[in-house]
């Protein structure tokens, strides 16, 4: 990437930071509902069972117990699958409606466990459980403690633990109920919980760091049949066959029920969005299913460049490449202090919706070459960068011809060139390439390297 590729720094000076030390007091449990209920996990030892005030119920009262509980606290039972039935003597988590905290009860004996799960089975069979939310689980803070997770600076890892913010990110993606989602770089799984609680039908998780896989498997077990985990690099992962074919829609139709969501590491966010933009132009990868939408986090400066308008100081190569292919929205900014470890920069949430018809009807690589050359001298007149498209022997003549065909003022600065003017430049350059078949493959860097090599060789011969 050139200087406009926005390589990110902004990491803490330590290579590894303990996430547990900076978990915020406003971190929420994974099951906070619209009424701001929370779950407090308490440890209850098995030898305290005799002191528990709640009596055991006989199996004869299973149905009436279930109905009574449903009347008293509608909507509080959230597990709809008997695959989550624990073994005898294990600990169950339960929320209680009407109080700000929940309780952890240890149910002793097979009879009481059967009461709970038979009740859940009856509710599921009756259709009264219309929505699936994750059962109470250890908080992200507890997951970090449990697996001794530390952020690694070399991977640009910054984790978002505040579930109110992860829920806000998910709302920017739109309605995810019964949709398919690919989450990139989930880390300890904070954003993953918000995605699952939104009611998705199929969640594909792509995680490169093996340390996070056990915690993600815990979420997979809590949402049986809805989560798939891929341990690998998303830059090398192909999504063209990752989802069922029946969700695909014609490009000109409404976007499919498929979303890509991710809190991206700073070090991969720019090459990854360039990769997806190229696949968007080619209608490959996740875009074989139609105009797949993306909701991603970027360093604030990159988010501003992606959405910068003509004449803005933030206008860059990324601005043109993103905006000629999609509608780009800078949704909101997350302060750096909300992340663990705290980066030196804030983070922007950006939403992409592919356009039915791109503003520039030329191959992606041709457009990228023109835009890249223009912005390599962003503070100079545009003709300076355009000259680098042509061999030195023909440089001035062909640059003048390109500007004439595009009807472009050579004294314009790169940030002042609109999308429509870039379209004219790309069209004019495409015609010149058809007239000269070797022109598109020309790279001024190759010519420069060859000149340097010849100079060194001549210098050695003189010695």
Q: Which two tokens stand for residue 324?
A: 């000629």
Is 194 within 8 Å of 167 (Cβ atoms)?
yes
Cis bond upstream, residue 341 (ω within 30): yes
Annotation: binding site: 158, 160, 185, 207, 233, 263
Our CA angle for 391, 393, 396, nearest 5°, is 85
Annotation: binding site for S-adenosyl-L-methionine: 158, 160, 185, 207, 233, 263
Q: Which two tokens stand for residue 305?
A: 């460049």
Is 215 within 8 Å of 142 (Cβ atoms)?
no
The C-alpha atoms of residue 29 and residue 32 are separated, in whole angstroms, by 6
Burial of 149 (0-12, 13-18, 19+ CB in 10 A): buried
> b/e for 224-256, b at 16 or more Cβ within 10 A?
eebbebeeeebeeeebeebbeeebeeebeeebb
């Amino acid at each position: 990437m050139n200087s406009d590729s926005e390589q990110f720094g902004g990491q803490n000076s330590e290579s590894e930071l303990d996430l547990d030390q900076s978990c915020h007091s406003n971190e929420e449990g994974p099951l906070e509902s619209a009424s701001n209920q929370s779950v407090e996990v308490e440890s209850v030892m098995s030898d305290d069972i005799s002191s528990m005030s709640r009596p055991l119920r006989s199996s004869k009262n299973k149905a009436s117990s279930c109905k009574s509980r449903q009347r008293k606290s509608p909507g509080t039972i959230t597990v709809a699958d008997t695959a989550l039935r624990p073994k005898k003597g294990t600990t169950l988590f339960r929320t209680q409606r009407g109080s700000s905290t929940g309780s952890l009860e240890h149910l002793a004996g097979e009879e009481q466990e059967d009461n709970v799960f038979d009740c859940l089975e009856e509710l599921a069979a009756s259709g009264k459980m219309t929505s699936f939310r994750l059962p109470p689980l250890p908080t992200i803070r507890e997951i970090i403690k449990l697996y001794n997770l530390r952020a690694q600076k070399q991977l640009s890892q910054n984790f978002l633990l505040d579930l109110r913010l992860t829920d806000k990110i998910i709302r920017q993606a739109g309605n995810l109920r019964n949709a398919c989602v690919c989450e990139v770089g989930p880390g300890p799984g904070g954003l993953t919980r918000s995605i699952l609680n939104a009611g998705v039908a199929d969640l594909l998780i792509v995680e490169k760091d093996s340390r996070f896989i056990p915690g993600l498997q815990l979420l997979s077990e809590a949402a049986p049949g809805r989560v798939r985990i891929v341990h690998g690099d998303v830059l090398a992962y192909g999504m063209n066959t990752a989802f069922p074919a029946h969700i695909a829609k014609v490009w000109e139709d409404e976007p499919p029920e498929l979303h890509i969501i991710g809190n991206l590491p700073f070090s991969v966010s720019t090459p990854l969005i360039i990769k997806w933009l190229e696949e968007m132009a080619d209608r490959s990868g996740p875009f074989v299913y139609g105009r797949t939408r993306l909701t991603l986090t970027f360093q604030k400066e990159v988010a501003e460049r992606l959405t910068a308008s003509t004449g803005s100081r933030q206008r860059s190569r990324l601005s043109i490449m993103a905006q000629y292919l999609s509608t780009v929205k800078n949704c909101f900014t997350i302060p750096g202090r909300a992340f663990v470890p705290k980066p030196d920069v804030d983070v922007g949430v950006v939403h992409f919706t592919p356009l039915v018809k791109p503003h520039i009807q030329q191959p992606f690589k041709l457009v990228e070459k023109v835009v890249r050359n223009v912005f390599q001298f962003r503070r100079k007149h545009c003709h300076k960068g355009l000259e680098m498209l042509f061999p030195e022997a023909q440089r001035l003549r062909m640059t003048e011809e390109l500007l004439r065909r595009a009807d472009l003022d050579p004294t314009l600065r790169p940030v002042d060139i609109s999308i429509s003017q870039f379209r004219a430049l790309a069209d004019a350059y495409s015609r010149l390439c058809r007239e000269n078949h070797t022109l598109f493959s020309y790279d001024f860097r190759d010519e420069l390297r060859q000149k340097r090599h010849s100079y060194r060789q001549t210098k050695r011969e003189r010695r």
